[in-house]
Amino acid sequence: MSDESEVLEPEIPEIVEEPEIIESTEPTADDLLAAANDKYLRLAAEFDNFRRRSRAERDALYADVRIETVAKFLPVYDNLARALDTECADEAFVKGIRLTMTQLVEILAGLGVQPIPTVGEKFDASLHNAVSQVSEEGIDAGIITAEFQKGFTLGGKVIRHSIVVVNA
Amino acid sequence: MAKIIGIDLGTTNSCVAVIEGGEPVVIANAEGARTTPSVVAFSKEGERMVGAVAKRQAITNPDRTISSIKREMGSAFKVAIDDKNYTPQEISAMVLQKLKADAEAYLGTRVTEAVITVPAYFTDSQRQATKDAGRIAGLDVKRIINEPTAAALAYGLDKEQEQKIMVYDLGGGTFDVSVLEIGDGVIEVLATAGNNRLGGDDFDKCVVDYLLAEFKKESGVDLTGDKIAMQRLREAAEKAKIDLSGLTSANINLPYITADATGPKHLDTTLTRAKFNELTAALVEKTVQPVKQALSDAGLQPSQLSKVLLVGGSTRIPSVQEKVKQLTGQEPFRGINPDECVAIGAAIQGGILGGDVEGLLLLDVTPLSLGIETLGGVFTKLIERNTTIPTKKSQTFSTAADNQTSVEVNVLQGEREIAQYNKSLGRFHLDGIASARRGVPQIEVTFDIDANGIVNVSAKDLGTGREQHITITSSTNLSKDDIEKAVKEAEKFAAEDAVKREEADTKNAGDQLVYQTEKLLEETGDKLESGDKSSLEDGIEKLKSALSGGDLAEIKEKTDELQKALYAVSEKLYAQAAPQDGNGGDGGGYTPPDDGVVDADYEVVDDDGDN
């Protein structure tokens, strides 16, 4: 019995405290200020990151546009290359195509466009796109044996991956 | 608290998005692509590759390249690489890790939390496996949501009234259709059906087969064994498919596709959309049964659907859209990139969980431009439409007449160039401006819009410090229709307004030149030769009469003439002034006439000045 009364006693002050607890759940001006300040800081930080990224994106834009534009012209290079690989009896005509190709290669080089080395190189998925595999004697595994389509880089970025055949 | 990213972990491709400044943004990967192939590979040297790079080496390394792992989620399937067995969760985690790293690079902060989507039909164990994959990747998966639910969130349908919708998702390799019930912010999947071996690649294959057959018919050459030719055909087929979503015919031009004894052979053909539809009709037809199934499982008639959402890149194909329309009797709902829609929805869910959407989305924009009326009835904008508020902008104006002591500020809202066609929100006068020549007083007009859209416009005479202001509370409560109407009208009348604007500008310029010349005569008339003086006076008279006549061409002509005369005279004045050196400097503020100073930006309102 005496134990119970001891238990009861501390309960009374707790009940008295209760309204205070309820009151303290109401956000105070300080809480609101802290929340608002937190929101403000977050937004400022987000904006700062956004601004930094926008600047970087703007800087990269010129290079990206150049890469995209060059990429659109590459099928013309491919087809000139295919034309030159084709037998043709008309030598003057072939020479015309060859000169056109030389001109295109010079223009590309002038823009900083570089062909990606393939045959004899080790396959590298960051530069090459493998579409076939062969087993050739005397060549190490993972070495490129043939190129289906020439790839190019510009300023270290790949414009188009080389399409290649790799030795197993 | 860091951002919660949203991830669409797909069978063939994955996509990641995040809420930024209250708007969902799709994050491009390190290679610059907005979706990442869900492919993982281990090189023989033990290097791990994820995404496009893994895909490019797949053929050289088939045993160590894993794609479509999503199909195995939640099963006991293991991928054995060297001595290690990887669970589907572990492989998926590698894809997630790449997406996480790309998001971190983009955001410039660490990312630890994510919302990941799964197909609506995923079982509990498949969902758990997806969650585990996130945990392995270092992501606390705040929620797993259904892909169709994410699509509905992307379109903001959770905020609309109670309704039932269908989500038709035709992706790279799978087809899913779901019927959802939306109400009270809760989205429930009523039924789902699909075909997990149907997607965009099948459409490409139809085109390749057709091209092969056509070429054989024409040239007698079978290209199937020619790997280079096949590679080119596949690329061309995909490109044609994409072109045919926008055009009714696509040109397929593959020079030197092969050669035989007779010489080189070229493939040059045109694929019409009608032919493409015919070739792929069987594929489109395969989606019919699942759609009917999902509707009947949900116990609904097509007419009970209020919307149909299209998800997945292949839903760009017009015949697919046509079929959906035919099946549901509804024009499908479009607008969000179907490849990115699910990731966007996941990001929105992440934003809601992280408080981003509630907290920051409240940033509003001004629905229409705000500004004031200036000389000649021209609307001068201070705040362009769609400017994020709160914002504040000031511009300095002046008087239009000598000794003008009062200006009226007419606050306008709208997109038309001519003041009278815009809505006047209110007007006020600022008086007590010190008497001065036109153009001298500086009146700073400031627009200040708070976060609630309340506009405070003030005008302050910088000379006397006198200030007036007006507060407008109704600038933002425009209906969508009002805004659209205002914008459309501005477009419609743009040419007409431009003419009126030019008229006002021409008159203002002429008027300004008359004033400038009169001022010059007044100040330096005694130094001028009588011939020069009379030529200026004559020019002024002519321009004035042109101005009162109102013929624009004539005003322009007379303005030019007077301008030339004025130039000639001021050159002489300069020549006179130069040798005198230091003598004429302080002579009453004579400034050389400057063609550029045409103060179109002031307001005539009060012509009670005494000139």
Judge whether A82 lies within some domain: yes
One domain for residues A107 and A45: yes
CA of A79, closest CA in chain B: separation in Å? Answer: 6
Q: What is the pLDDT of residue A2?
A: 43
By the CB < 8 Å criterion, does A98 face chain B? no
Number of domains in chain A: 2
| Contact residues, B window 259-278, toward A, CB-based 8 Å cutoff | 259, 263-264
Does residue B147 carry a catalytic annotation? yes
Whether A166 and chain B come into contact, CB under 8 Å, resolves to yes
On whether any CB of chain B is under 8 Å from the CB of A83, the answer is: yes
Counting Cα atoms < 13 Å in the Cβ hemisphere of B215 gives: 25
Q: Do B56 and A128 touch (CB under 8 A)?
A: yes
Same domain, A57 and A128: no
Residue B387 has pLDDT above 80, yes or no: no
C-alpha to C-alpha distances, A61 to A38, A55, A68, B27, nearest whole angstrom: 34, 10, 10, 16
Is position A67 within any domain?
yes
Question: What does the pLDDT read at residue B527?
Answer: 77
Chain A within 8 Å of B388 (Cβ-Cβ)? Answer: no
Q: Which of B3, B55, B70, B460 is catalytic?
A: B70
B537 tagged catalytic: no
Give the domain-ending residue among A92, A111, A130.
Answer: A111
Interface check A24 vs B, CB under 8 A: no
CA distance B228 to chain A (A): 6
Flag whether residue B21 sits within 8 Å of chain A, measured between CB atoms: yes
B44 contact A CB<8A: yes
Per-residue pLDDT of chain A (168 residues; tens, 9 = 90+): 444 444 444 444 444 444 444 445 678 888 889 888 888 887 887 788 788 888 888 888 888 899 999 999 999 999 999 999 888 889 999 999 999 999 999 999 999 999 999 999 999 999 999 988 999 898 998 999 999 999 999 988 999 999 999 998
Going edge to edge, which strands form the sheet with B406-413? B378-383, B370-374, B406-413, B423-431
Structure-token match 């390249």, residue found = B65
Considering only CB atoms, B20 lies closest to which of A50, A131, A161, namely A50
**Phi then psi dihedrals of residue B183, to 5 deg:** -175, 140
Q: Under DSSP, is residue B117 helix (H, G, I), strand (E, B) or coil?
A: strand
> Which residues touch B520 (CB under 8 Å, ≥6 apart)?
B536, B566, B569, B570, B590, B593
- Are the beta carbons of B393 and B444 closer than 8 angstroms? no
Distance from CA of B476 to the nearest CA of A (A): 23
* A128 and A74 within one domain: no
Same domain, A136 and A159: yes
Q: Which of A111, A142, A158 is the last residue of a domain?
A: A111
Regarding whether A138 and A150 lie in a shared domain, the answer is yes
Residue of chain A whose Cα is closest to the Cα of B49: A125
| Span of B119-128, B271-280, B590-599 with lowest mean pLDDT | B590-599
Q: How confident is the model at residue B1 (pLDDT cuts 50, 70, 90)?
A: low
Which of A67, A90, A111 is the last residue before a domain boundary? A111
Residue of B nearest to A76 (CA): B255
Same domain, yes or no, for A67 and A79?
yes
- Dist. CA B29–CA B12, nearest whole Å: 16
pLDDT at B141 over 60: yes
Looking at the fold, whether A51 and A89 belong to one and the same domain comes out as yes
Under the banding of pLDDT at 50, 70 and 90, the label for residue B95 is very high
Would you say residue A23 lies in a domain?
A: no
**Same domain as A94, residue A122:** no
Determine the 3-state secondary structure of B38 from DSSP. coil
| Per-residue model confidence as pLDDT tens digits over B393-444 | 999 998 888 888 888 999 998 888 888 898 888 889 998 888 888 888 899 9
**Secondary structure of residue B298 in the 3-state scheme:** helix
Quote the DSSP letter at residue B87. Answer: -
Active-site residue, B8 included: yes
Residue B358 has pLDDT above 90, yes or no: no
> How much of chain B, in percent, has pLDDT values that exceed 90?
50
CA angle, residues B27, B33, B34, in degrees to nearest 5: 40
- This model of the complex carries an ipTM of 0.70
Question: DSSP of chain A, one letter per residue?
Answer: -HHHHHHHHHHHHHHHHHHHHHHHHSPPHHHHHHHHHHHHHHHHHHHHHHHHHHHHHHHHHHHHHHHHHHHHHHHHHHHHHHHHTS--S-HHHHHHHHHHHHHHHHHHHHTTEEEPP-TTSBP-TTTEEEEEEE--TTS-TTBEEEEEE--EEETTEEEEPEEEEEE-
- Catalytic site includes residue B599: no
A46 interfacial to chain B (CB closer than 8 Å): yes
Does the residue A5 lie in any domain? no
* Arithmetic mean of pLDDT over chain B: 86
Which residues between 55 and 74 in chain A have a beta carbon less than 8 angstroms from any beta carbon of chain B?
Answer: 64
Q: Could you tell me whether strands B113-118 and B4-8 are parallel, antiparallel, or unpaired per DSSP bridges?
A: parallel
**Best B57, B227, B239, B265 residue to mutate vs chain A (most A CBs within 10 Å):** B57
| B56·A133 Cβ contact <8 A | no
Nearest to A148 among B44, B49, B228 (CB): B228
Quick check: B256 and B264 in contact, CB under 8 A?
yes
Assign B67 a pLDDT band (cuts: 50, 70, 90): very high
State the smallest CA–CA distance between residue A29 and chain B in angstroms: 19
Residue B416 CA: distances (Å) to CA of B144, B366, B495, B605? 48, 16, 11, 20
User: Can you give the CATH number for the domain in which A89 is found?
Assistant: 3.90.20
Q: How many CB atoms lie within 10 A of CB A45?
A: 12
Report the candidate in B174, B176, B146, B193 with the shortest Cα–Cα distance to residue B11. B174
Its domain, for residue A124, covers 114-168
Q: What is the CATH number of the domain that holds A124?
A: 2.30.22.10
Is residue A152 situated within a structural domain? yes
pLDDT score, position A1: 42
Instruction: Pick A161's closest partner by Cβ from B32, B56, B259.
Output: B56
How far is C-alpha A91 from the chain's CA centre? 46
Tokens, residue B272: 């019409």
Best of A67, A148, A164 to disrupt the B interface by mutation (most B CBs within 10 Å)? A148
Residues A103 and A153 placed together within one structural domain of the fold: no
Q: Are residues A36 and A57 in the same domain?
A: yes
Q: Write out B220-234 in H/E/C secondary structure.
A: CCCCCCCHHHHHHHH
The CA–CA distances, whole Å, from B125 to B75, B89, B122 equal 8, 11, 8
Type and span of the H or E element at B33:
none
Segment B245-291, tens digit of pLDDT: 999 999 999 999 998 888 889 999 999 999 999 999 999 999 999 99
Claim to verify: residue A104 and residue A45 sit in the same structural domain: yes
Q: Would residue A8 count as lying in a domain?
A: no
Residue A9 lies in a domain: no
Spatial CB neighbours of B138, under 8 Å, sequence gap ≥ 6: B97, B100, B112
Cα-Cα-Cα-Cα torsion A101, A107, A109, A114, nearest 10 degrees, comes to: -70
Same domain, A152 and A119: yes
Whether chain A has a CB inside 8 Å of the CB on B111: the answer is no
Closest CB to A130: pick one of B32, B59, B259: B59
Inside any domain, residue A159: yes
B479-524: pLDDT as tens digits: 777 777 888 888 888 888 888 888 888 888 888 888 888 888 888 7
pLDDT > 80? residue B453:
no
